[in-house]
Amino acid sequence: MNTLSKKCPRCGSELAKRNGKFGDFYACTAYPGCNYTVTANPKQKPDIIEGKSCPVCGGAVIVRDGEHGRFFGCDNFPVCSWSASSLAPKAKELDCPHCSVGVLKKRVSKNDKVFYSCSNFPNCDYTLPKEPFDRPCPHCAWPVTLEKVTVRKGKEQVCPKCKRCFSLKG
């Protein structure tokens, strides 16, 4: 138990550091007789992300801590409730090479495995086991390839149609 050199202002007992739902805090060691607590890290100024603004109201974007971890939110909360888990741009969706109507979407199977399938399902049942890349195969000209990593050859591209591997190095 990590104790603080300060004494409890209510009863004079020592304060001990505890971990709580909303972060670390110091609590009186005489609990339950004394229920005095104080936060270990008092509120600091939030980290403002330079060069980014809220897409809804134009306010500053700041880093916030929430129940499910860190996220980005608008500085004008609660007036503006915009938030995002990431500021990275969304990945470009690739057209389905099988039907050319749908796009390849990231999905999760019943066994929590990630795969990519056509959004035109059930009319098109094209699936890929890994993330597709917008690089055509030099052997058969199939428009998407997958990345394969081996100990011997390192990173390679593999065509899901003809199953041939090729390197991107010139």
In-domain check, residue 7: yes
Binning pLDDT at 50, 70 and 90, where does residue 53 land? confident
Residue type, 43: K
pLDDT in tens, 90-136: 556 788 888 888 888 888 888 888 898 988 888 988 898 888 888 88
Judgement on whether residues 159 and 112 belong to the same structural domain of the protein:
yes
Total domain count for the chain? Answer: 3
In-domain check, residue 95: no
User: Pick from 116, 157, 118, 127: which is nearest to 139 by CA?
Assistant: 157
Assigned token pair, 20: 């709580």
End-to-end CA distance of the chain: 60
Judgement on whether residues 29 and 54 belong to the same structural domain of the protein:
no
Mean pLDDT of the chain: 82
pLDDT in tens, 33-42: 998 888 877 6
In-domain check, residue 117: yes
- Placement of tokens 């899901």 in the chain: 160
In-domain check, residue 98: no
Judgement on whether residues 76 and 28 belong to the same structural domain of the protein:
no
pLDDT value at 170 more than 60: no
Judgement on whether residues 75 and 118 belong to the same structural domain of the protein:
no
d(CA 155, CA 168): 9
In-domain check, residue 126: yes
Assigned token pair, 23: 């972060």
Containing structural domain, residue 7 = 3-39
Specify the higher pLDDT residue, 68 or 89: 68
Binning pLDDT at 50, 70 and 90, where does residue 45 land? low
In-domain check, residue 28: yes
- Position 89 scores a pLDDT of 56
pLDDT in tens, 1-24: 555 567 888 888 898 888 887 778
- Position 148 scores a pLDDT of 86
pLDDT value at 154 more than 80: yes
d(CA 96, CA 102): 5
Instruction: Compute the C-alpha angle 99/132/161, nearest 5°.
Output: 60
